[in-house]
Amino acid sequence: MENRVAVLAIIVRDTGAVLTLNELLHRYGEHIIGRMGLPCRDRGLRLISVALDAPGDVISALSGKIGRLPGVTAKTVYAPEDALR
């Protein structure tokens, strides 16, 4: 399967999920190009963006696992396939 480039946007509302979230990101580390986290203290949120270069099923699996964590929302945006040539 061909690799895709994507950005995974993660919003953490429950800090109790952070340990599991970090473990998941570590497990998929070989596919992560970079990541940035920003605290949004006034709203009690943590905003994280993760850039990925991986097969589509790997990106979907990571996004799904993160999205099932309590208090966490995850959405993925894929680069257009023709933009990668």
Pairwise CA distance, residues 16 & 69, whole Å: 10
Report the number of distinct structural domains present in the chain.
1
Pairwise CA distance, residues 43 & 4, whole Å: 33
**Has residue 25 been placed in a domain?**
yes
Tens of pLDDT along the chain (85 residues) come to: 789 999 999 999 999 999 999 999 999 999 999 999 999 999 999 999 999 999 999 999 999 999 999 999 999 999 987 766 6
E strands in 41-83: 45-55, 72-78
**Has residue 84 been placed in a domain?**
no
Give the domain CATH number at 41.
3.30.70.1150
Pairwise CA distance, residues 85 & 15, whole Å: 39
